[in-house]
Amino acid sequence: MAAPILELKGIERSYSEGEGRLTILKDAGFTLRPGEMVALVAPSGAGKSTLLHLAGLLEAPDAGEVIVAGQACGRLSDDARTAIRRNEIGFVYQFHHLLPEFTAEENVMIPQMVAGMDPAEAKTRASQLLDYLRVGHRGSHRPAELSGGEQQRVAIARAVANAPRVLLADEPTGNLDPKTAGYVFDALEALVRQSGLAALIATHNHELAARMDRVVTLEGGKVTAWKR
């Protein structure tokens, strides 16, 4: 069995609430391996977004450790966490957050160029990713000219443009109708299976969750197996 690409160990996270503290995660642990798709299904307010933010190094835990590709990241500087996030982690959200003034192809090129890739190489890779996700013929169109499913497939291409090893998705099909959601999930699943990417996907869609390798939830601030 492959070694985990993402590990959360003994994670604690709480926030100020009035004069007290609201505990979101308590001694939470989780592992994600290459090529694995894991669904995170939990009620609103249970801490799904907090878990994804911590796993993606957007926040630091109050206690515990986040390990990405074997490197402990919880106590790194902001700059060091940003570098790991840029190289190792991709994000997809419910709303695509594409830059409206740029074409689909340019939206996929930008993160590559930020990472230092030559524009010509970035353009070639963007074109290949869009073709793979079956939106290559829409590469010259701006987001407002794309359907919801097309926008989300472009967002997936952007998320994996720098060849991350971990993909974190927060309700990536939540803003789409069921048929379109199925198309987007099919594209995402094919990408994960063929690339060896590891994906943690928060979703309320139980049908899509059932297609993944594992389903986990949050109970009492801990990550537990989903009880069907």
| Mean pLDDT, all residues of the chain | 88
Amino acid making up residue 182: G
User: pLDDT tens for residues 188-208?
Assistant: 888 888 888 899 999 888 888
Mean pLDDT of 101-127: 93
- Closest of 119, 174, 167 to residue 152, by C-alpha: 174
The total number of residues written for the chain in this structure: 228
Q: For the chain, give the percent of residues with pLDDT over 90.
A: 42
> What torsion, rounded to 10 degrees, do the Cα atoms 70, 72, 74, 75 define?
-150
Q: Which of 32, 25, 24, 23 is nearest to 10 (CA)?
A: 25
Instruction: Tell me the mean pLDDT in the region 169-186.
Output: 81
pTM of the full predicted structure? 0.88
pLDDT per residue over 57-84, tens digit each?
988 888 999 999 888 987 888 888 888 8
Report whether pLDDT(180) > 60: yes
In sequence order, the β-bridge partners of residue 71 are: 68
Question: Can you tell me which residue has the tokens 């990241």?
Answer: 73
**Residues paired with residue 216 on neighbouring β-strands, in sequence order:** 40, 225
Write the single-letter amino acid at 142.
R
Question: Average of pLDDT values for 121-143?
Answer: 92
pLDDT at 184 over 60: yes
Question: Is the per-residue pLDDT at 227 higher than 70?
Answer: no
- 138-158 pLDDT, tens digit per residue, is 999 999 999 888 998 899 899
pLDDT score at 228: 55
